[in-house]
Amino acid sequence: MLFNSALFIGGFLPVVLAGFLLLAGMGRQRAAALWLMLASFVFYGWWNPAYVPLLAASILFNYLVGGRLIRHPSRPLLVAGIAANVLMLGYYKYTGFLVETLEHVAGTHWSIDQIVLPLAISFFTFQQIAYLVDAHAGVVKDHDLLDYALFITFFPQLIAGPITHHGEMMEQFRDRAVFRPRMDAIALGLTVFLVGLFKKVVFADPLGERASPVFAAAADGAMPGFGEAWGAALNYTLQIYFDFSGYSDMAIGLGLLFGIALPANFDSPFKARNVIEYWSRWHMTLTRFLTAYLYNPIVLRITRARMAAGRPLPRRGRMSPGTFVALLAWPTLFTMFVSGVWHGAGWQFLVFGLLHGLYLVVAHGWRAYKASRGRAPDSDHWLARAAAVLTTFVCVVVAMVFFRAADVPAALSLLAGMAGLHGAGAAAPAEVAVGPLSPLQQVAALVRSDAALIVGLLAVVWTLPNTQQWMRHYRTALDWHVRPGWMERWSGLATWRPAPALGAAVGVAGFFALALAFSAAPTEFLYFQF
């Protein structure tokens, strides 16, 4: 069931919200929580009821293992619990890819039936691994099956995040104030939801229609020309930006309808001045998970081993190349390798992860070099900032080609086109061709057709406040401190306040988005495939 479908907006959501408000208004906190949990299972099972038992079994298994770890911490049990989760994820997500790779490399001639990937398995697996680690560490103080099941299944964040932490969610589920109907929270939630829906159906979906033909042609062996390749890469980069931003807004808005604040997962990442900052703004809860449960433990283990061997930590700004590689470079590359593999089973995702790992290593190395000379990590001069933002954006676009392409050869074909190696007007799919024009005229026509839209949307991305900044005077995302933008400093008009005119404007935009959403078959959010 999709957030942008008529079934969800006109059927499922009103029924679930009405039942919740009725039970919460009667003071039946546990009944309201149970209602939400059951509704979340219905939401999950609507796509494929066969996978509901898998989700329920995963929840029960981790609940029991977590309870045991709380009472009797045991490293072997923790390792076994994590291994069980990883094996389940690996079976459903990577078995087909591994068998295909072995067939290609070793000629094994093995074959298996197609394994359908259960929705959200990457997301709820990571959440439960974090829970087990924290239970073993003594961070989980109490244990309740209903709260735990609702923490995993809460439908606004179940399918594509954010990857929530048990501490921030269960505390809300136990708070009686949360389960008290509040009209201000409902108004905020509807506003944020409609903003996200607008991003999805007005911006993201049309961009995808522009990008897909060129990527499909590259997968079929065509060689896109310079204009076609750059148009496809930029259209897709903006598509996934507005698609994921829209989903993140819709998830936060839905949570607010039920009085639940979800963590922010998206904070204008294309305004980042380097890739380090980019990953602190894009899929923020995934970055938080990988940093806390993978990168930091690796660095801590290496640090302890070095200290035990009598090798002290380097002084600030004085890191030798060997120390830089040991403490930062390879842990970063490994963490981003895991990030790439987490996103999908394919060599293109592995390249995507390692490419971002390389970006991060270079960015950290440049910062270390500047620190060794007593210079600030980033310049605040507007020209230097603009150059840094543009450079970071181009790096992200290059990586996004691997993220979207069907395979590595298709990605390399797109990149070759972007580099001009296929000429100005190479073979293009029929959907992109504009008639019997010369190659140069074809490129010019393609650039003109896409340029206004791309430039306009980049202006939106780089200049306007994001949803959290726009609504910064009200509690939307959980424990999030909004970064002020230039427009907020210049004009108080860039802030959402409950007012008739603004309400009418949001209502008209929301009605337009709803009309578009209901007029055609809803498209999936891109992160549903991960």
Residues assigned a catalytic role: 343
Distance between CA 411 and CA 493 in Å, rounded? 43
The residue among 76, 82, 85, 112 whose CA lies nearest residue 97 is 112
The residue among 408, 411, 385, 387 whose CA lies nearest residue 398 is 411
CB-facing half-sphere around the CA of 493: CA atoms within 13 A: 4
> Cβ(495)–Cβ(489) under 8 Å?
no
Amino acid identity, residue 135? A
DSSP string, 297-315: HHHHHHHHHHHHTT-PPPP
13-25 helix and 226-257 helix, angle to the nearest 10 degrees: 30
> Cβ(407)–Cβ(347) under 8 Å?
yes
Distance between CA 427 and CA 429 in Å, rounded? 7
List all residues 6 or more positions away from 166 whose beta carbon is below 8 Å from its beta carbon.
127, 130, 131, 134, 140, 148, 151
Amino acid identity, residue 232? A
User: Could you tell me if residue 283 is left (phi over 0), alpha (psi between -120 and 50 degrees) or otherwise beta?
Assistant: left
Q: Which residue has the tokens 């148009």?
A: 231
> Cβ(2)–Cβ(526) under 8 Å?
no
Distance between CA 123 and CA 58 in Å, rounded? 12
